[in-house]
Amino acid sequence: MSLDRAALLAWYRRERRDLPWRRTRDPYAIWLSETMLQQTRVETVIPYYQRFLEHFPDVAALASADLEEVYAHWAGLGYYSRARNLHAAARRVVERFAGRLPHDAQELRSLPGVGRYTAGAVASIAFDRPEPVVDGNVERVLARALGIREDLRRPDTTRRLWAEAAALAAGPAPGDLNQGLMELGATVCTPRAPRCEACPLARGCDARAAGDAETLPRKPRRAPPRAARAVAGLVLRRGRLLAVRRPPGGLLGGLWELPGGEPGRGEPLERALARALREGVGLEVDDLEPAGALEHVFTHRRLRLHLYRCRSVRGRVRLDGFDRHRWVSPAEAPSVSQSALMRRALSLAWPAGGRA
């Protein structure tokens, strides 16, 4: 069964949402939007995208910036490895491609953080190359329209999805075609209650004919997030709060946070924090006062963070496992590049730099 390519293109050009990255053919702006849209809702991305472009209007501006500055303008968007890879990729574009994003999908995939999907999206949308894209929305559209009822995580099913997407992209306006597939999945062929009556592919849709659209696509269920605990301390000297920076790489790499760590099995929380501060920043603390707790869900982990105010602190900072430290004033705290979890922690335990 083949999909009605012309009907999809006509529908997209008539019904597409007016999004800021659809008003440009600038490869850098398109690349930025595709990076920000990974695992993040369109409504969330729009203001970040606009502010980021204002501050870093081109590849050269991004490449010449300090990573700390990039993090500061990404703060709150989450998945900070995207910002780190974007910055590293911009520097590579300047060094290897004279500051211009390559047209070729294979060369695009040589950039940090650029996988098959992003390379296909940039190549097709910015450079009109017949490259396929397959994301969650495209998977859903293709699985339903073509009646693919096998587990989408099977290698042979993945290969079929990419082959079907490649066949669709091999024609006029591959960028619009790819965006049409993604737009259809986002607005019509939704996970629940798909609006089949509004779909340009409804006439030939296998799942609609079979009446099982909402059961597709088929994927294995994800394991629930693993429960975990951590402790963190508010260490103050002369009204300034101690912040430490994680080394680059890994979860929340390169971001600033309160010093702390994870308790051992059966280890009391206050004892765990005292140990973590001694081992991680070289400080001895006594007289810990609970300052609240909060929960934060990462992809595979549900973390409960317990916060303590440290009343008695001795020693000089000596780092182990962190790459920098700084004493942050209340005025500086909002501008320090930090995760959403740390912003919540400061709001709870150190509101407006209050008493700690």
Q: Specify the CATH number for the domain of residue 325.
A: 3.90.79.10
* Domain harbouring 48, CATH code: 1.10.340.30
Q: Contact, 82 vs 38, CB < 8 A?
A: yes
**Which residues are within 8 A (CB) of 226 and not within 5 positions of it... i.e. 6 or more apart?**
300, 301, 302
- Tell me, yes or no, whether 220 lies in a domain: no
**pLDDT tens-digit profile, the chain (356 residues):** 679 999 999 999 999 999 999 999 999 999 999 999 999 999 999 999 999 999 999 999 999 999 989 998 998 888 889 999 999 999 999 999 999 999 999 999 999 999 999 999 999 999 999 999 999 999 999 999 999 999 999 999 999 999 999 999 999 999 999 999 999 999 999 999 999 999 999 999 999 999 999 999 999 888 889 999 999 999 999 999 999 999 987 778 889 999 999 999 999 999 999 999 999 999 999 889 999 999 999 878 999 999 999 988 999 999 999 999 999 999 999 888 888 899 999 999 998 665 44
29/160 same-domain check: yes
Which candidate in 34, 164, 183, 257 is catalytic? 34
Shared domain for 139 and 267, answered yes or no, is: no
Residues forming beta bridges with residue 231, ordered by sequence position? 261, 306
Q: What angle do CA 122, 128, 129 make, to 5 degrees?
A: 75
108 and 177 within one domain: yes
Identify whether 221 is part of a domain.
no
Indicate if 146 and 265 belong to the same structural domain: no
- Domain identity same for 209 and 239: no
Q: Does some domain include residue 149?
A: yes
What is the extent of the structural domain holding 57? Answer: 5-215
177 and 311 housed in the same domain: no
Q: Does the annotation count 34 as an active-site position?
A: yes
What is the C-alpha separation between 133 and 118, in angstroms, rounded? Answer: 8
Looking at the structure, tell me whether residues 131 and 235 fall in a common domain: no
- Whether residue 107 sits in one domain with residue 71: yes
Q: Clarify whether residues 210 and 231 are in a common domain.
A: no
84 within some domain: yes
Cβ-based burial of 173 (10 A; exposed 0-12, middle 13-18, buried ≥19): middle
Burial classification of residue 66, based on how many CB atoms lie within 10 Å of its CB (0-12 exposed, 13-18 middle, 19 or more buried)? exposed
Domain boundary among the residues 215, 244, 270 is at 215
The DSSP output letter for 151 is: B
Tally of structural domains, the chain = 2
Task: Tell whether 210 and 262 lie within a shared domain.
Answer: no
